[in-house]
Amino acid sequence: MKKNMVMAILGFTALFGLVFATGAFGASKIVIGNPECLSGGFAKAGEQAVGGIKACVKWVNETYGGVKVGGKKTPLEYKLYDCESKKEAVTSLIERLITVDKVDFLFAPYSSPLTLAGAPVAEKYKKLFMDHGGASDRIFQQGFKYVVQTIGPGTSYHLGTLDMIRKIDPKANKLALVYKDAEFSRDVMRGAEKHAQTVGYSIVFKRTYPEGAADLTPILSDLKGHNPDIVLGGGHEPDGMLLARQMADLDINAKAISIIVSVTLPSFYEGLKNIADGILGPSHWEYGVTYSEAGAKKLGLPWIGPGQDEFVKLFKEAVGKDLTPEYHSAEAGAAVLALVKGIEMADSLDNDKVRAALGKLHFMSFYGGWDVDDTGLQVGHSMVDMQWQGGKRIIVWPPEAATGKPCYPLPTFSQKAKGTLCIPK
Amino acid sequence: MFGIQLAGNLLQGLVLGAVYGMATMGLSLIFGVLKVVNVGHGAFMMVGAFVALWVFNGLGLSPIWAIPAAFVLGMALGFIFFHTSMKRLIKAPELASLLATFALGILLEETVKLIYGADFHGYNWIVGKVSMGITVMPMSKIYAFVGSILIALILYFWFTKTRGGTALTCVVEDSEGARVCGINVGRAYALSFSLGIGLTVASGVLLTMFIPVGISPYMGGVYTLKAFVIAVLGGLGSPYGAFFGGLIFGLLENGSYSLFALIPGLEPFAMTRFFSFLILLLILLIKPTGLLGTK
């Protein structure tokens, strides 16, 4: 009996020793936890983000060979929960990911409000919170230390659009801003307004509409009376489509119309057909951008990750269908690559050390440049402007990334209804 | 300029209000007969919106054909859901039926998501516009308006001029009395639930004729909230009250914009909701049962 007791104690000691030794020599895997929107209002963007993350995790594990930390290549593991696009679910799932699943790093869910909701919990546990889809500048004005952004800040969305129109048509002067009254779109409008004043536009109309507005006719009737040259606006997917549709219904024509978020999605054209033609949309990434390893080398930046076509292939495998990746997937995938670079620079899984490394990191991937300031705000990534032209997505700005010329001015909605396409002359 | 804009917004509000009213009649009918608050109301409207999408994009037909199709589908869904769940919950505590309708709503949302995905869809039904001087009105909105009025009238005549409709009215007023008079109350419950869901699903089609974009499995939440407000405004349990409530809500929501736009520093669109709810509060203070509701 006594001999058995001694043997059992020795056995347990050996087992604990083995477990301890494994921890000391490095983890067998690096776990990324992510409460993502698989259902609810942001399910579409969430599906894209998950596809992008899975694509890049697969690339890191299978092509890159794992993350080099402690002299050893360690694979990534992706732990995912559906946050149902709800703030309360985000906060409780982050708690669960940290305390129950013991993940090493956290990815924020899509959207600014959900990123803002989850950030305090990540801060409480001192966990790195990789923000791939929260563009609001306000996230980085709260004093958070562990939030690191990959998507560009909301205030930068329309800078390129305004520069482009100024270059094409210096006489276009009357600018209208019609945005959803929400965290992210308010930031976009603030950035557009500031830049418009710098470049010399005159703002003839500036109004917001509330979240969940089913009919924008009143605000658009008001807009019509101001006869703008350029209309910038939107918020997220459904209201962006509604804005374009009801502008067409009310015959509100402008030389250029740019709508955030929704325009970049294929569903925008599928739902609106000829109404969508010629409408511009700022985008963080579009298929056809020319970022490459050779380009990174010229700029003296390190490169990591799959090439554009390889990313598209991995994305389609990850989502299991012939879905086109959009910028929501590219920015989420790029956040994985940034984390890998950060871990390798820090040579540690310690979240504070990785956060410090990310502060010094500047690299390029298929998504473009990546660099953050002291607050974690993305400052190294440039946006592009895309435009629907005859049913095709064309990158029209900046010139170095463009895959075609901009179509300007837009045909009127009546002309488009009769079959006129927005094709540049 | 102000007058033209106000008149234009009121006209647009009237058209939208008729669709809102029609969309709330099913909710009010179900509450009136079964005393069940259908919190899955918006999800049933969403089903109607997808029927319109399918009829237009899938079959290449006018969405007008989707109205009877959605009504029949809604009646069938209502019949199935009544006999599989609601029937057992009529006498149960209110929370049980509330949770059951909430669950039905989620079930519908996730089923539609499995078929169509989480994308926002739309259809581009262009049937011309009418320039009215004060505003431009697409014909699709006019069809939605006329459709809503016609359905409300048919329902009115059915309730007042037919045996089945009168029997339902009796159950609304006094179910025990109706039973004593020989009315099959159980059948009345099944019929009103099916009819209520049928109207709600059909209203989803009419809604997309007014707003043919933003069709997604989760689009219903906004309309559930609006329908509750309109139902209370019109008088819970009164389908006609709901229709008039919808008209008033549409007029207030769209019309008040022009007034608030005159005040510098205000965001007029945000104020329209404040104004609509303020009027709702005032009406309820004066008439706690709503416009056409009875004790």
Residue ranges of A 156-195 with Cβ closer than 8 A to chain B: 181
Q: In this predicted structure, what is the pLDDT of residue B290?
A: 84
Strand duo A72-74 + A76-82: pairing: unpaired
Determine the Cα–Cα distance for residues A101 and A205; give it in Å rounded to an integer. 50
Contacts of B126 in chain A (CB under 8 A): 417
Q: In this predicted structure, what is the pLDDT of residue B239?
A: 87
For domain A156-283+390-417, give the CATH number. Answer: 3.40.50.2300
Percentage of chain A beyond pLDDT 70 is 94
Contacts of A251 in chain B (CB under 8 A): 129, 136
Average pLDDT over residues B93-106: 92
Q: Which of B117, B119, B136 is nearest residue A249 as measured by Cβ atoms?
A: B136
Determine the Cα–Cα distance for residues A177 and A205; give it in Å rounded to an integer. 6
B144: closest CA among B69, B65, B81, B64? B64
**What is the value of ipTM here, to two decimals?**
0.89
Per the CB < 8 A criterion, the answer to whether A235 and A180 are in contact is yes
Which range has the worst mean pLDDT, A101-105, A355-359, A361-365, B124-128? B124-128
Residue A382 scores a pLDDT above 70: yes
Most confident of A265-274, B70-79, B221-230: B70-79
Q: How far is CA A193 from the centre of its chain?
A: 22
Contacts of B216 in chain A (CB under 8 A): 44, 238
Q: In this predicted structure, what is the pLDDT of residue A123?
A: 97
Percentage of chain B beyond pLDDT 90 is 66
**Cβ-defined contact of B117 to A44 (cutoff 8 Å):** yes
Q: In this predicted structure, what is the pLDDT of residue B16?
A: 94
Determine the Cα–Cα distance for residues A329 and B239; give it in Å rounded to an integer. 46
One-letter-per-residue 3-state SS of chain A: CHHHHHHHHHHHHHHHHHHHHHHHCCCCCEEEEEEECCCCCCHHHHHHHHHHHHHHHHHHHHHCCCEEECCEEECEEEEEEECCCCHHHHHHHHHHHHHCCCCCEEECCCCHHHHHHHHHHHHHCCCCEEECCCCCHHHHHCCCCCEEECCCCHHHCCHHHHHHHHHHCCCCCEEEEEEECCHHHHHHHHHHHHHHHHHCCEEEEEEEECCCCCCCHHHHHHHHCCCCCEEEEECCHHHHHHHHHHHHHCCCCCCEEEEECHHHCHHHHHHHHHHHCCCEEEECCCCCCCCCHHHHHHHCCCECCCCHHHHHHHHHHHHCCCCCCCHHHHHHHHHHHHHHHHHHHHCCCCHHHHHHHHHHCEEEECCEEEEECCCCCECCCCCEEEEEECCEEEEEECCCCCCCCCCCCCCCHHHHHCCCCCCCC
A417: closest CA among B189, B261, B102, B139? B139
Asked if the A26-152+288-371 domain carries CATH number 3.40.50.2300, the reply is yes
Most confident of A38-47, A165-174, B33-42, B222-231: A165-174
Q: In this predicted structure, what is the pLDDT of residue A9?
A: 58
Euclidean distance between the first and final Cα of chain A, in Å?
94
Determine the Cα–Cα distance for residues B247 and A318; give it in Å rounded to an integer. 48
Determine the Cα–Cα distance for residues B20 and A264; give it in Å rounded to an integer. 31
Q: In this predicted structure, what is the pLDDT of residue A12?
A: 54
Q: In this predicted structure, what is the pLDDT of residue A5?
A: 60
Q: Which domains does chain B have, with CATH numbers?
A: 2-286 (1.10.3470)
Per the CB < 8 A criterion, the answer to whether B206 and B23 are in contact is yes
Q: In this complex, is the C-beta atom of A239 within 8 Å of any C-beta atom belonging to chain B?
A: yes
Per the CB < 8 A criterion, the answer to whether A325 and A311 are in contact is yes
Q: In this predicted structure, what is the pLDDT of residue A284?
A: 92
Q: Phi/psi of residue A385, each to 5°?
A: -115, 130
Most confident of A213-222, A282-291, B59-68: B59-68
**Cβ-defined contact of B226 to A214 (cutoff 8 Å):** yes
Determine the Cα–Cα distance for residues A84 and A36; give it in Å rounded to an integer. 8
Task: Kindly report, residue by residue over A206-227, the tens digit of the pLDDT.
Answer: 999 998 888 999 999 999 999 9
Q: In this predicted structure, what is the pLDDT of residue A18?
A: 47
A-to-B residue pairs, Cβ atoms closer than 8 angstroms: 127
Q: In this predicted structure, what is the pLDDT of residue A10?
A: 53
Q: Residue A40's closest chain B neighbor by CA?
A: B218
Q: Which two tokens stand for residue B116?
A: 């169509």
How distant is the Cα of A277 from the closest Cα of chain B, in angstroms?
A: 13
Residue A19 scores a pLDDT above 60: no
Contacts of A213 in chain B (CB under 8 A): 269
Confidence of residue B235 (pLDDT cuts 50, 70, 90): confident
- Torsional sign, CA B70, B76, B78, B80: negative
Q: Residue A85's closest chain B neighbor by CA?
A: B218
Average pLDDT, chain A: 92
Determine the Cα–Cα distance for residues A138 and A143; give it in Å rounded to an integer. 10
Residue A324 scores a pLDDT above 90: no
Contacts of A274 in chain B (CB under 8 A): 124
Residue A334 scores a pLDDT above 60: yes
A36: closest CA among A99, A98, A78? A78
Average pLDDT over residues B243-271: 91
- Torsional sign, CA A358, A362, A115, A305: negative
Q: What is the DSSP letter of B293?
A: -
How distant is the Cα of A217 from the closest Cα of chain B, in angstroms?
A: 7
Average pLDDT over residues A134-144: 94
Residue limits of CATH 3.40.50.2300 in chain A: 26-152+288-371, 156-283+390-417
